[in-house]
Amino acid sequence: MSLIPGLGIVSGMALTLRRFFEPKVTIKYPEVRLDPPHKFRGRLQLLYDEWGTLKCETCFQCAQACPIECIDMGGMDTRGRYHVHWGAPETYGERREESALRRSGRTVPDPAYQPFASIDLTAVDAVLDDFDRDPAHMLEILEATQATYGYLPVAALKRISNLTGAWYAMIYGTASYYRHLRFEPSSATSQAAAVEAQRPAETTYLAAFDTALGGAASATGGGRRTSKPRAQA
């Protein structure tokens, strides 16, 4: 409360009156641009690097970190390796895309938009019971699941998330980090090739190391010998 009653409303009305007679301004975008607020981040968008490949590795770390959980992903991952899902079912990106396509009367063209296959989950439940459904044993749970199915099916990961209470993104982050865990059956070579391109196996390094040393005695026994063509100086 100010000392003089009614001073607040008078100064407020003075501002109104001043603005009423001020000239109106239209910002002529895009010639003139206002500075956006400094915390404004705009629309979520995946960036490309200078060779035109997506920078996103589909690691879900952004979805994990997002405090209001506004990031969701679905479909084939950006490296073309495997199906990824994150978020509540009704907000799956690909379902929204799919329904938008259907509503516009077009067919759904991309095989990535097929939902993940449902599988028999009793084996996952048995694995989870072995580890008391404790997310602290996540790596062992994932390894046991892979030993059962031969790979980590998306449906199994969702089941693990459901029963342990761990976030799907956390489980996915763990599963996509370790080289021995895979999301496709071992017969599917696409993932193995993509991983090898990103993160070559230790045997590849050892073979290259042997070659770089001039084909010296194989150091570890694990390394396989390759004979790379050499240029003659």
Which residues contact other proteins (rule: CB under 8 A)? 57, 59, 135-142, 170, 173-174, 176-181, 198-200, 202, 205-206, 208-209, 212-217, 219-220, 222-223, 228-233
Residue labelled with tokens 């749970």: 141
Minimum separation from the CB atom of position 101 to other proteins (A):
33
Minimum separation from the CB atom of position 164 to other proteins (A):
10
Minimum separation from the CB atom of position 98 to other proteins (A):
30
Q: Is the peptide bond before 30 cis (omega within 30 degrees of 0)?
A: yes
Closer residue to other proteins (CB): 59 or 119: 59
Closer residue to other proteins (CB): 193 or 216: 216
Pair of tokens at residue 37: 């607020």
What is each CA distance from 100 to 80, 83, 97, 106, in whole angstroms?
A: 23, 20, 5, 9
Whole-angstrom Cα distance, residue 233 to residue 231? Answer: 6
Minimum separation from the CB atom of position 40 to other proteins (A):
22
How long is the chain? Answer: 233
Reduced to 3 DSSP states, what percent helix, strand and coil does the chain have, rounded to the nearest 5?
Answer: 45, 5, 50
Closer residue to other proteins (CB): 170 or 192: 170
Closer residue to other proteins (CB): 97 or 148: 148
